[in-house]
């Protein structure tokens, strides 16, 4: 089954249910993990509808124009080639925000929302009227802006050294209106010396995939920027830099939060303990996999 790309002029509307089922079939055959969800989101993106509205229109067998059908078809073809859904729609949901996203920036993942919660909770617990948080390697700005918008009395800095990703971080900072967030273009190892010893919370989702471990998902392997993925032979090159910078930035008693791969919890805990961190703890995600490590300066 395929979608109509070149319909005759003045032809009858295309049933949205037909378009939806065709899209689901194409995406499923292409190996997309959630073909129906993605199909509904793509149709909604073209038509300016929510998923629920798409479902309702399909149930009522409402029709759409052939022009819209062709636009949906083009989007489905891109997704079937495993281009990330977020690149096609230009939007990535993250916690309470909808971020602008596209090529050059790492697409924020749902599991990172849970990791960000550790930093948000730590910021909220600081007795200072203006706690300070830093996100090392902010990418699209997702974590930094989550902290800034959910702890509005905090001051938050997001650090990024990729020009392409930094464009998205600055754009998202403007679009969220988070005036308490500052995006800084600099390598994280050299970041923010003016804040040394004053920061309450440092968080990072660094590149942690070992160089030889090629991701299975085409969306990651083909479209996420390599500098945001690979962390050297053992995946820990940037983790060392994050530890060193966080030790410099945090005051005594400050909190470090770091996301990592499910098989790296023990190695990162050992690394942090060797660097002198206290109260090192590994935390699991909702699927029971090691996902984050926290430590106290």
Arithmetic mean of pLDDT, 266-279:
97
- Inside any domain, residue 6: no
> What Cα–Cα distance (Å) separates residue 208 from each residue in 19, 119, 258, 263?
40, 19, 11, 11
Residue 155 tokens, joined: 């001051």
Q: Are residues 73 and 112 in the same domain?
A: no
Tell me, what's the pLDDT at 5? 45
Q: Are residues 59 and 101 in the same domain?
A: no
Q: Are residues 112 and 69 in the same domain?
A: no
Q: Are residues 230 and 284 in the same domain?
A: yes
Strands 290-296 and 250-259: antiparallel
- Inside any domain, residue 99: yes
- Inside any domain, residue 3: no
pLDDT tens column, 227-265? 887 888 888 999 999 999 999 999 999 999 999 999 999
Tell me, what's the pLDDT at 198? 98
pTM of the predicted protein model: 0.88
- Percent of the chain at pLDDT > 70 equals 97
Tell me, what's the pLDDT at 157? 98
Environment class of 268 (CB within 10 Å of its CB; exposed 0-12, middle 13-18, buried 19+)? buried
Among the three residues 81, 103, 119, which one is the final residue of a domain in this structure? 81
- Inside any domain, residue 31: yes
- Inside any domain, residue 2: no
- What is the C-alpha to C-alpha distance for residues 140 and 170, in angstroms, rounded to an integer? 8
Q: Are residues 44 and 174 in the same domain?
A: no
Q: Is it the case that residue 4 has pLDDT exceeding 70?
A: no
Q: Are residues 77 and 113 in the same domain?
A: no
Q: Are residues 119 and 69 in the same domain?
A: no
Q: Are residues 119 and 54 in the same domain?
A: no
Q: Are residues 126 and 75 in the same domain?
A: no
- Inside any domain, residue 189: yes
Q: Are residues 130 and 203 in the same domain?
A: yes
Q: Is it the case that residue 2 has pLDDT exceeding 70?
A: no
Q: Do 19 and 69 form a contact (C-beta atoms < 8 A)? A: yes
Among the three residues 33, 53, 81, which one is the final residue of a domain in this structure? 81
Tell me, what's the pLDDT at 1? 42
Residue 238's CATH number: 3.40.50.150
Length of the chain: 297
- What is the C-alpha to C-alpha distance for residues 82 and 186, in angstroms, rounded to an integer? 32
Integer Rg of the chain from CA: 22
Arithmetic mean of pLDDT, 32-60:
94
Residue 174 tokens, joined: 């403007």
The distance of Cα 80 from the centroid of its chain, to the nearest Å, equals 21
- Inside any domain, residue 154: yes
Among the three residues 31, 55, 81, which one is the final residue of a domain in this structure? 81
- What is the C-alpha to C-alpha distance for residues 30 and 24, in angstroms, rounded to an integer? 10
- Percent of the chain at pLDDT > 90 equals 83
Tell me, what's the pLDDT at 10? 54
What pairs with residue 295 in β-bridges? 256
Q: Are residues 129 and 24 in the same domain?
A: no
Mean residue pLDDT across the chain = 92
Q: Are residues 63 and 99 in the same domain?
A: no
- Inside any domain, residue 239: yes
Least confident of 54-58, 210-214, 289-293: 210-214
**The total number of structural domains that make up the chain:** 2
Residues 6+ apart with CB under 8 A from 150: 95, 96, 120
Classify residue 188 by its DSSP letter: G
CA nearest to 97, candidates 202, 219, 181: 181
- What is the C-alpha to C-alpha distance for residues 160 and 183, in angstroms, rounded to an integer? 8
Cα diameter, the chain: 73
Residue 273's domain comprises 95-296
């Amino acid at each position: 089954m395929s979608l109509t790309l070149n319909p005759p002029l003045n032809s009858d509307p295309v049933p949205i249910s037909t378009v939806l089922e065709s899209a689901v079939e194409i995406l499923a055959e292409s190996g997309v993990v959630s073909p129906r969800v993605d199909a509904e989101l793509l149709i909604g993106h073209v038509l300016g509808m929510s998923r629920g509205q798409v479902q309702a229109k399909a149930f009522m067998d409402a029709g759409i124009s052939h022009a819209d059908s062709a636009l949906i078809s083009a989007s489905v073809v891109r997704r079937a080639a495993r281009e990330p859904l977020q690149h096609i729609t230009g939007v990535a949901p993250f916690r309470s925000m909808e971020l602008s996203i596209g090529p050059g920036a790492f697409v924020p993942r749902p599991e990172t929302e849970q990791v960000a919660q550790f930093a948000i909770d730590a910021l909220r617990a600081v007795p200072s009227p203006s706690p300070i948080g830093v996100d090392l390697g902010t990418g699209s700005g997702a974590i930094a802006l989550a902290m800034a918008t959910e702890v509005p009395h905090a001051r938050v800095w997001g650090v990024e050294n990729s020009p392409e990703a930094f464009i998205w971080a600055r754009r998202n900072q403007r679009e969220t209106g988070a005036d308490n967030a500052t995006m800084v273009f600099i390598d994280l190892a050299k970041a923010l010396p003016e804040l040394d010893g004053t920061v309450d919370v440092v968080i990072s989702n660094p590149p942690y995939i070992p160089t030889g471990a090629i991701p299975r998902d085409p969306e990651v392997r083909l479209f996420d920027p390599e500098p945001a993925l690979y962390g050297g032979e053992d995946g820990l090159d940037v983790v060392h830099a994050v530890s060193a910078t966080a030790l410099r930035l945090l005051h005594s008693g400050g909190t470090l939060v770091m996301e990592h791969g499910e098989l790296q919890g023990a190695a990162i805990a050992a690394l942090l303990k060797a660097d002198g961190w206290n109260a090192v703890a590994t935390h699991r995600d909702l699927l029971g996999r090691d996902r984050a490590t926290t430590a106290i300066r």
